[in-house]
Amino acid sequence: MVRSFNQDLSYPDFIKRQLAADQMPEVGPEENAALGFLGLSPTYWKELQLPPEIIKATVADEWEERIDTLGRTFLGLTVACARCHDHKANPISTADYYALAGVFASIKMSDRPMMAEELWLPVKKARGEVAVLVKKQADLKKKKPKPEELKQQLAELSKKIKVIKTGTPHYNMATIVGVKDSALHVLPKKKGYGTLLDYQDGKARDLEIQIRGNPNDTGEVVPRRFLSAFPAEKGEPRQFKNGSGRLELGESLVKDSKPLLARVIVNRIWRQHFGRGLVETPSDFGNTGARPSHPELLDDLAARFVDNGWSFKWLHREILNSATWQQSSFASDSAAADPGNIYYSRMSRQRLDVEAWRDAMLSVSAVLNEELGGKPVDLNDASNVRRTLYGKIHRRDLNKMLQVHDFPDPAAHSPARANTITPLQMLFALNGPLLKKQATEFAKRIESEKGVTNSERVTRTYDLMFQREPNKTEVELAEVFLETAPLAEYARVLFAGNEFLYID
């Protein structure tokens, strides 16, 4: 994703890669990483000893999650509301819902390589052989009574595993959790009690309408297609006939729903820069969502975004070069007439997201690793000085620093972050290991640079942290503080202060 934005990949190409990079002949296997959009979707536990009637409901819930994320992310529409009945507020029918659900009923989570097929096949074979040997080791360890030659047998198996790994080129090449086309049918086991998940690789299926969302009470079959509110030609929505329909779904999004698609993403970018969207419900552009504060501006930006090749770099420059964005956040003479700043009479003050706050501390401490790409790193690792973007996210055990600072739920679509001010955030600033370590690193930087008096060090600190000189009062207060406390403690106070946390 970082590489795509740096290269200014057009938004339509970006979307199609997220859904079907493996089906796009013009892109290479290294683009399979984009399939993580679907591959990392939440999956729910399926106890296959239970009857298929229960497992069908679990599977249907997974399809609903994917449709909800797709609809709200790209179209700003709550499509999942139509699972049980026609949408009460928007022109989305139950048939529309199950036409899309058929796409997700025709895919399977799968590790996907980011290398050519001829290089991957030997690796796939070798990994399969290693998996068999590892299972043999596990079975031997569980065996009772333990074999007399257990140690020798385990050693022989380990030797075979090592030979396979070292003798297979690219064995340790990273794969991503993506998807492949495979139709899922939930069936009763042929023998005994329980459920069988029957995946039919390379095939697709159309779903029956589930009456009131109940997968055990079905109606007519709905062919896979796009939403009927966005007809492709002759007043009919685009039909999906190529495999699962993932690539055709991408084509429908970027062609058939283009005006809405453009408005939704432009509004998200606007919100990122201004702290508030032109539409204040970024994932609901339907009749239940908020009305745009500046509809003509949204239409104009969306149209010109499309005309300029769906270029994010163009869009960012257009916004950042505007007089509106370049305003100060200090109250202007028009503040009384526009107290909520609905009409952008001034810039709204914005608190840095936790990622930007952490990155800013690493940057001014001169320890930030700006390398692009690579494996995620645990944010609890004290040696981690990579951008927070590359922090490892555990869906069910979210990092406490992120959790305290309003990071959205990684298991669900989040339209926007909540902005809270809590005692835990201040306790983190006072006692957390991150600020303590970065304040120490910052102090090392200041002490290693030119300037030995406290006054000189305070001036340099303000230059690095705030890009300005301290005033007389700030210097005097700092000098008093530094008479009894080390420079690192002073830096920690400033890291936690409003001027470092907020953008004016």
How far is Cα 4 from Cα 372, in angstroms, rounded to an integer?
A: 12
Residues 6 or more apart whose CB falls under 8 angstroms from that of 403 comprise none
| 77-105: pLDDT as tens digits | 999 999 999 999 999 999 999 999 999 99
212-246 pLDDT, tens digit per residue, is 999 999 999 999 999 999 998 888 999 999 999 99
Kindly report whether the global pTM for this prediction surpasses the value 0.85: yes
Give the closest residue to 22 by CA, choosing from 291, 202, 207, 262: 202
* Cβ atoms within 10 Å, residue 286: 20
Distance of alpha carbon 501 from alpha carbon 357, whole angstroms: 7
- 175 dihedral zone (left: phi>0; alpha: psi -120 to 50; beta): beta
* Cα–Cα distance for residue pair 306/304, rounded to 1 Å: 5
How high does pLDDT run on average in the chain? 92
Q: Read off the pLDDT band of 383 (50, 70, 90).
A: very high
Confidence of residue 427 (pLDDT cuts 50, 70, 90): very high
At residue 300 the predicted structure's pLDDT band, cuts being 50, 70 and 90, is very high
Q: Given this model, what pLDDT does residue 175 score?
A: 83
* CA pair distance 285, 351, nearest whole angstrom: 26
**141 pLDDT more than 90:** no
Which of residues 227 and 121 earns the better pLDDT score?
Answer: 227
Strand partners, 187: 196
What is the rounded average pLDDT of the residues 298-315? 97
pLDDT of residue 334: 66
449 confidence band (pLDDT: 50, 70, 90): confident
Residue 457 is inside which H or E element, if any?
helix 454-466
pLDDT at 120: 84
Q: Which residue has the higher pLDDT, 452 or 360?
A: 360
| 391 CB-near residues (< 8 Å, 6+ apart) | 355, 376, 377, 378, 379, 384, 399, 402
Q: Give the burial class of 95: count Cβ atoms within 10 A of its Cβ; 0-12 exposed, 13-18 middle, 19 or more buried.
A: middle
Average pLDDT (33-43) is: 90
Domain segments of the chain as ranges: 2-111+177-256, 115-173, 258-329, 354-503
Residue that the structure tokens 């339209």 belong to = 415
Lowest mean per-residue pLDDT among 96-100, 139-143, 242-246, 449-453: 449-453
Tracing tokens 């140690």 back to the chain, one arrives at: 151
* Other CB atoms within 10 Å distance of the CB of residue 237: 18
Instruction: Judge whether residue 332 has pLDDT over 70.
Output: no
Is the separation of the CB atoms in 440 and 488 below 8 Å? Answer: yes
Selection from 74, 72, 93, 73 nearest residue 83 by Cα? 93
